[in-house]
Amino acid sequence: AEHQHARYNPLRDDWVLVSAHRVKRPWKGQLEKPPPEDVPRWDPNNPLCPGATRANGEVNPQYEGTFVFPNDFPALQPDAPEPGDSDHPLFRAAAARGVCKVMCFHPWSDLTLPLMSLAEIRAVIDTWAELAAELGASYPWVQIFENKGAMMGCSNPHPHCQVWASSFLPNEARLENRTQRQHLSQHGVPMLLEYAEQEARRKERLVVENTDWLVVVPYWATWPYQTLLLPRRHVCRLQDLRNGERDSLASIIQRLLIKYDNLFEVSFPYSMGWHGAPTGPYLEEDCGHWQLHAHYYPPLLRSATVRKFMVGYEMLAQAQRDLTPEQAAERLRSLPEVHYKQRAK
């Protein structure tokens, strides 16, 4: 808690430098603008709102729940041509095809996940699972991710996420595939199933838990208030979740995100994403080494305006953090589970 040390991340096969004493240093760097609190519930000029016109001229339906549509500016397209042959091993290229979709969580722009009802969050989970199964029938990887807040690159405050399906395994997926396979081979148990059991017993990094799920600040966390959402049962993919597990997932997501918002009493920015066993051709293979999980990477460090920057040493050497995961978990764990906006009312 007082002295710098390095911690090993078995999921990524790398290390993070923990320098807890540095959190005491005075901050003279950049201050961020808090997110706006006056987002209109409906704006005809917002392309994600019901009835609004998007950049390609299409008009959104008057949707009342979740709404999924093809990304108007996709990073991946299904019909991209093959790259030319390489004339040198240092100049290689490979085909990259796929589809990109946008998923709106709710018709209201001023509502984020922690302020939605459990039934509304459950509808989001069901749509995630449907997309994972639909796109995963043909694509090896389906990445569901949410960038929340301008600080994390989100350009639209409307509650939404993105779903990118690719013809290849991205870097993080390939890395987690290798490390989890090695762990099962060496220890006879899926890595993150064993890890969840250990964290449930130790409790020092536990943030919230219920019958089916737990959220921890991982022992190897890089971001200040990074968390890892884990099922207690061995589950490979999002679409494999049982009915009751989806209900309890809605509950634990709401509880976690309320704590995040309550930390600095601000709509907490983050990037999150689901990682599960590969799909497409991998559906015919044994993927028992995989355990479904979700990563949450929030940038805020000291307040609503002071963020952690991944620059300098982090970019050129290795990841570094300024408070221990145990300190971060204790602070999150102690926060109330009633949203600060609802307490004010």
CB-based burial of residue 251 (10 Å sphere; 0-12 exposed, 13-18 middle, 19+ buried)? Answer: middle
Looking at residue 124, what is its pLDDT? 98
Nearest CA to 118 among 15, 220, 251, 241?
251
Q: What was the pLDDT predicted at 25?
A: 61
Question: For the chain, what are the domain ranges?
Answer: 39-79+94-336
In this prediction, residue 24 carries a pLDDT of 62
DSSP letter string, 124-149 = HHHHHHHHHHHHHTT-SEEEEEEEES
Residues belonging to the binding site for UDP-alpha-D-glucose are: 22-25, 55, 71-72, 147, 153-155, 162, 308-309, 313-314, 320
**Which residue, 283, 234, 261, 230, is CA-closest to 335?**
261
Confidence (pLDDT) at 20: 83
The pTM score is 0.96
CATH number, span 39-79+94-336: 3.30.428.10
Supply the Cα-derived Rg of the chain in whole angstroms.
20
Which tokens hold the place of 322?
A: 């300024």
Which of 160, 183, 289, 339 does the annotation list as catalytic? 160
Q: Taking the mean position of all CA atoms in its chain, how far away is CA 290? A: 17
Q: 93 to each of 89, 164, 243, how far by Cα in Å?
A: 10, 20, 43
The number of residues in the chain equals 345
Q: In which residue ranges of the chain is pLDDT below 50? A: none
Residues of the binding site for Fe cation: 176, 275, 293, 295
The pair phi, psi for residue 175, each rounded to 5°, is -65, -50
Q: CA 53 to CA 161: how far, in whole Å?
A: 19
Task: Report d(CA 107, CA 159) in Å as an integer.
Answer: 8
Helix (H, G, I), strand (E, B) or coil at 150: helix
Residue 118 in contact with residue 251, Cβ under 8 Å? Answer: yes
Instruction: Choose among 6, 21, 26: nearest CA to 319.
Output: 6
**Dist. CA 257–CA 120, nearest whole Å:** 14
- Measure the CA–CA gap between 216 and 218, rounded to whole angstroms: 6
Contact call for residues 131 and 71 (beta carbons, < 8 A): no
Count of C-beta atoms within a 10 Å radius of residue 342: 10
CB 76 within 8 A of CB 139: no
**CB of 139 within 8 A of CB of 164?**
no
pLDDT, tens only, 261-280: 999 999 999 999 999 999 99
Mark whether 187 is an active-site residue. no
- DSSP string for residues in 201-240: HH-TTEEEE-SSEEEE--TT--STT-EEEEESS---SGGG
240 vs 261: CA distance, rounded Å: 30
Q: Which residues contact 55 (CB under 8 A, 6 or more apart)?
A: 47, 72, 73
**Which residue positions form the known binding site?**
22-25, 55, 71-72, 147, 153-155, 162, 176, 275, 293, 295, 308-309, 313-314, 320
Q: What is the pLDDT of residue 167?
A: 98
Q: How far is the C-alpha of 292 from the C-alpha of 135, rounded, in Å?
A: 17
Amino acid at 240: D
pLDDT of residue 70: 97
Q: Which of 132, 107, 137 is nearest to 43 (CA)?
A: 107
- Look at strands 227-231 and 293-297 and give their pairing: antiparallel
Residue with tokens 């003279």: 28
pLDDT value of residue 10: 98
